[in-house]
Amino acid sequence: MTTTTTPTHTKLRAEGFSCPSCVTKIEKQVGRLDGVEAVQVHFASSRIEVEHDAAKVSVDEIVDAVAKAGYVSKPSAF
Protein backbone atom coordinates (compact mmCIF):
# COMPACT_ATOMS: atom_id res chain seq x y z
CA MET A 1 0.00 0.00 0.00
CA THR A 2 1.38 3.39 -0.92
CA THR A 3 0.96 6.38 1.31
CA THR A 4 0.02 9.64 -0.26
CA THR A 5 1.35 12.82 1.25
CA THR A 6 -0.80 15.88 1.31
CA PRO A 7 0.98 18.61 -0.60
CA THR A 8 2.09 21.69 1.30
CA HIS A 9 0.65 24.94 0.02
CA THR A 10 3.26 27.71 0.22
CA LYS A 11 2.65 31.35 -0.63
CA LEU A 12 5.49 33.71 -1.47
CA ARG A 13 5.59 37.44 -2.08
CA ALA A 14 7.89 38.43 -4.89
CA GLU A 15 9.52 41.72 -5.79
CA GLY A 16 10.58 43.09 -9.13
CA PHE A 17 7.88 41.80 -11.46
CA SER A 18 7.99 44.10 -14.45
CA CYS A 19 6.29 42.12 -17.18
CA PRO A 20 3.97 39.15 -17.66
CA SER A 21 6.85 37.13 -19.14
CA CYS A 22 8.40 37.16 -15.64
CA VAL A 23 5.57 34.83 -14.65
CA THR A 24 6.62 32.16 -17.15
CA LYS A 25 10.27 32.41 -16.11
CA ILE A 26 9.42 31.85 -12.44
CA GLU A 27 6.91 29.06 -13.14
CA LYS A 28 9.48 27.18 -15.24
CA GLN A 29 12.28 27.57 -12.70
CA VAL A 30 10.19 26.55 -9.67
CA GLY A 31 8.34 23.85 -11.62
CA ARG A 32 11.65 22.05 -12.31
CA LEU A 33 12.18 21.29 -8.63
CA ASP A 34 11.59 17.69 -7.57
CA GLY A 35 8.51 17.60 -5.36
CA VAL A 36 6.79 20.66 -6.83
CA GLU A 37 3.34 19.70 -8.07
CA ALA A 38 1.98 23.07 -9.16
CA VAL A 39 3.13 26.67 -9.42
CA GLN A 40 0.88 29.66 -9.93
CA VAL A 41 2.29 33.16 -10.24
CA HIS A 42 -0.12 36.06 -9.80
CA PHE A 43 1.40 38.94 -11.74
CA ALA A 44 -0.94 41.68 -10.49
CA SER A 45 -0.43 40.89 -6.79
CA SER A 46 3.21 39.68 -6.99
CA ARG A 47 2.26 36.41 -5.32
CA ILE A 48 3.60 32.96 -6.03
CA GLU A 49 1.63 29.93 -4.86
CA VAL A 50 3.32 26.54 -4.84
CA GLU A 51 1.89 23.08 -4.12
CA HIS A 52 4.81 20.88 -3.10
CA ASP A 53 5.90 17.85 -1.14
CA ALA A 54 7.69 19.38 1.87
CA ALA A 55 9.66 16.15 2.34
CA LYS A 56 11.26 16.61 -1.11
CA VAL A 57 11.57 20.37 -1.50
CA SER A 58 11.79 23.07 1.17
CA VAL A 59 10.47 26.62 1.10
CA ASP A 60 14.10 27.81 1.05
CA GLU A 61 14.73 25.78 -2.11
CA ILE A 62 11.67 27.37 -3.73
CA VAL A 63 12.89 30.85 -2.75
CA ASP A 64 16.29 29.93 -4.26
CA ALA A 65 14.63 28.84 -7.51
CA VAL A 66 12.78 32.17 -7.71
CA ALA A 67 16.14 33.90 -7.13
CA LYS A 68 17.65 31.91 -10.01
CA ALA A 69 14.88 33.30 -12.21
CA GLY A 70 16.05 36.76 -11.14
CA TYR A 71 13.51 37.75 -8.48
CA VAL A 72 13.52 38.24 -4.73
CA SER A 73 10.78 36.43 -2.82
CA LYS A 74 9.95 35.53 0.74
CA PRO A 75 7.32 33.40 2.45
CA SER A 76 4.03 35.17 3.06
CA ALA A 77 1.01 34.43 5.21
CA PHE A 78 -1.38 35.84 2.59
Give the predicted TM-score (pTM) of the model: 0.88
The pLDDT tens digits along the chain (78 residues) read: 556 678 999 999 998 878 888 899 999 999 999 999 999 999 889 999 999 999 999 999 999 999 999 999 999 876
What whole-number distance in Å separates Cα of residue 17 and Cα of residue 47?
10
pLDDT given at position 4: 66
Are 37 and 7 a contacting pair, CB within 8 Å? yes
In angstroms, the Cα distances linking 41 to 4, 8, 38, 45, 47 are 26, 16, 10, 9, 6
